Amino acid sequence: MAYSIQAFTTGSGNWVKPANADPNGMTRVIIIAAGGGGGGGEAQTTTGVVASGGAGGGGACRHEALYLTAELGETEPYVVGAGGAGGAGGSGGTSGSPGGIGGISSFGGNAVVEFRAGGGGGGSGGVSGVACMGGGGGGTYSSGQSGNGSSSGFGGSTGGAYNAAATGPCGASGGVSSATGAGGAPGNRSTQGGAGGGAGGGKTTVPAYSAGGNGGLAGMFSIDGGVTISGANAVAGLVISGQPGMFGFCGSGGPGGPANSNGGVVGGPGGFPGGGGGGGGATQTPNTGGTGGDGGGGFVICITDG
């Protein structure tokens, strides 16, 4: 069996039906939204006051559909979600800024109804003495909410709520930062979607500077027809192996940055596609808290029988 494969990693445009498409064949469309950015770490002015790391961004949803190629238009629009930006670290005794929400990815809208995958919510910026919540995982058709201090970053429809793993194709939520300045919690795992980013490390009253949490593990899904997706670059990582039943992976969560007396360390970026960014580490002024890691970008791939 021959296949025509069109992979899109940024922006928007139109999928074009291949000239050699089998009129009686199928087209499988896999869309992965973008991960949420990690929150920025806090910078406290007083040695005896706790400083919190930024929380992790939520992972994105993976959604897919199988069409009769004949029912698709000659063109169908697509959108690839952009990763949520990491939040800025605090300075001069201020809290960190929250990370941005990951963009939605979508396909269809001409001959077939558009379907979507939701992006991950942004992690909360570090707030002194607060267990700051991670971004919610992306759900089918809707994105996760961003964490806001101790308020929950709820998941998109059926996505992972704050501090929760996710089953199926939805994204997992980001890790929670410590209210006492201890190490950041790890990001959560999704079985098939994007993973959550780890929270940044905090500063205790001693003061002691803590490590960030690990990013969550990526979800895995099957790709029939001998196509695999792997690596940081979708195009370079796209392999036509001729062996059916191969697997693809969504992005793992970025690690949280450790706290440091000389400035909080930047959170790690979310893995491609759809991983949540890690939260930035905390610090003490005159230095600046670590910036949160950016969320991993989205992906749209169309596999058409030839």
CB of 292 closer than 8 Å to CB of 177? no
Q: Are strands 43-44 and 283-284 parallel, antiparallel or unpaired?
A: parallel
In angstroms, the CA 282 to CA 211 distance is 10
Q: What pLDDT digit, counting tens, does each position of 117-153 carry? A: 999 999 999 998 889 999 999 988 788 888 876 655 5
In angstroms, the CA 18 to CA 3 distance is 10
- State the pTM of this model: 0.90
Q: What pLDDT digit, counting tens, does each position of 197-253 carry? A: 999 999 999 999 999 999 998 776 655 544 444 433 344 334 433 333 445 678 899
DSSP 203: B
In angstroms, the CA 268 to CA 288 distance is 17
Among residues 216, 250, 217, the alpha carbon closest in space to that of 61 is found at 250
Q: Are strands 105-107 and 26-32 parallel, antiparallel or unpaired?
A: unpaired
H or E segment and range at residue 223: strand 220-223
- Determine whether 236 is exposed, middle or buried from the number of CB atoms within 10 Å of its CB (0-12, 13-18, 19+): exposed
CB of 152 closer than 8 Å to CB of 146? no
